[in-house]
Amino acid sequence: MENFTSNPISKRKVLMLARHEIKELLTMNAALEAVEYTFRLHAQGKAFMPSKLYMDIPEGKGDFRAMPAYIGGTVGIKWVSVYPNNHIYHLPTVIATIILCDIATGCPLAILDGTYITEMRTGAAGGLAVKYLARKNSSVVGMIGAGKEAKTQLLAISEVLPKIKEVKVFDLCKDTSLRYAEEMGIKLNIYIRPVETIEAATEADIVVTTSPSRKPIVKKHCVRPGTHINAIGADAKGKQELESGLLASAKVVVDDIEQASHSGEINVPLSEGLIKVEEIYGTLGEVTAGIKKGRENNEEITVFDSTGLAILDIICAKLVYEKAKEREVPVFDFS
């Protein structure tokens, strides 16, 4: 991927892309390639990404996050809200907008719906983790949580692990599990069955957690040797899906050590002194770049702690922007 800037003549013309347009431009296979490229650059120190800025809303309904990033000659920011009760209004929990800017002039190049991009890049990061950390003969996937993130997680996993025999899905809402099983089963032609307990879902080769839990829901004694876990739900201080003892005994790989330390799956056990930063194995970027090994045997338990990186949003947004330009999508003139 090359650096990109706008034509000075059209520097005030801005692409505006809605969700339905982005869905036509961003496939999971393309997202996987972009995310792997991004993680490698991140490991090589070729990205600049300040920590997320969190702003809690006084009424307590949710929070906003500002996520700026520069990578590969591309600069931009994602402004994202997380409102857990949005299902009441039939809206997604996460709603985001991404702005890409011209690196040469600072002028805006594109304003994109960031919600779908967030879903896809999060799924792709999970798929990449499975590629490098799960056992090669993995065939059973356990999903804990059946929302939008669970869908893109499975979509990405099916791209890197084409021989899935069974998917177990658990959600606190049984109807959500049933809908997930029907929709994703048809979409991916995979056998998916709802299960009654979290313990049943953990009886798998790969376990994916996408809940907003603030207390451990996956216990150490329920996870078999050789399991890989994608811990996706913990993305803010105080959130935790995995029992601290499980993290202490596993090979833990994070997307970014600083961000994960204050808002990822490891944030609670770190704050309680149950694990130490130096005990974290490394980053997914280090693994994909070959700086560190991924899975080393069939018995170790591996965990990918995903917090969501702004550089992934920006690279995927850049990919969408470039494809939109090729299709000559209409632009909004700010001049």
State the catalytic residues. Answer: 78
CA distance 195 to 212: 19
Burial of 20-36, coded b for 16+ CB within 10 Å and e otherwise, reads: ebbeebbebebbbebbb
CA distance 12 to 103: 14
Tokens linked to 106: 């600072």
Short-list 137, 306, 302, 309, CA closest to 229: 302
CA distance 321 to 17: 9
Strand partners of residue 64: 55, 81
Half-sphere exposure of 100 (CA within 13 A, CB side): 32
